[in-house]
């Protein structure tokens, strides 16, 4: 009986220690930042490159964007939420350097993946669009719409 009690105390103590010394909390991905800053990157034309959207709308790879309504230049709230869920799976919050969304379209000499059918959309990590994607992955927030 006594040893069972000690076991329980020891276990509780270890669990408490474990939660104190666990990894720092990962940043959470912000939907508002995604809608206002990240989604436009998927739609915008970059010099000598095809837009992400052209190849990734309803694509059969993991980066699959919702189809815009005819004549519409942006996604509905519901579509954006679905895009957010799809794209969130392609990133590691707090770690842009290992996030597929950022590595796949990045030039290999800048640390990107060797091959992407969509080309080397970002020549380096200094590309403003790449930096915006990285900021989102690092948990950048937009509090109010229109910011």
**24-43 burial, b for 16+ CB within 10 Å, e for fewer?**
eeeeebbbbbbbebbbebbe
Query: Residue 25: phi, psi to the nearest 5?
Result: -65, 135
User: Among the candidate windows 14-22, 26-34, 70-78, 99-107, which touches ligand HEC by CB under 6 A?
Assistant: 99-107
Q: How far is the CB of 112 from ligand HEC (least distance, A)?
A: 10
121 touches ligand HEC (CB under 6 A): yes
| Short-list 62, 128, 134, CA closest to 94 | 134
Number of residues that bind ligand HEC (CB under 6 A): 18
- Could you tell me the smallest distance in angstroms from the CB atom of residue 79 to ligand HEC? 17
Burial, 20: exposed, middle or buried (Cβ in 10 Å; 0-12, 13-18, 19+)?
Answer: exposed
62 binds ligand HEC per the rule CB under 6 A: yes
Report which residue's Cβ sits closest to ligand HEC.
118
Residues that bind ligand HEC (CB under 6 A): 50, 52, 54-56, 61-63, 90, 100-101, 104-105, 115-118, 121
């Amino acid at each position: 009986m006594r040893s069972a009690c000690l076991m329980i105390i020891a276990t509780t103590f270890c669990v408490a220690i474990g939660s104190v010394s666990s990894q720092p909390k990962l940043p959470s991905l912000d939907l508002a930042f995604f809608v206002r800053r990240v989604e436009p990157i998927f739609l915008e034309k970059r010099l000598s490159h095809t837009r992400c959207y052209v190849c990734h709308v309803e694509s059969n790879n993991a980066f699959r964007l919702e189809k815009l309504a005819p004549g519409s230049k942006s996604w509905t709230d519901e579509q954006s939420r679905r895009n957010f869920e799809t794209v969130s799976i392609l990133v590691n919050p707090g770690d842009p350097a290992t996030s597929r969304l950022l590595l796949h379209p990045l030039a290999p000499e800048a640390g990107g993946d060797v091959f992407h059918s969509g080309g080397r959309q970002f020549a380096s990590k200094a590309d403003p669009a790449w930096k915006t994607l990285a900021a989102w992955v690092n948990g950048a927030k937009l509090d109010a719409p229109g910011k």
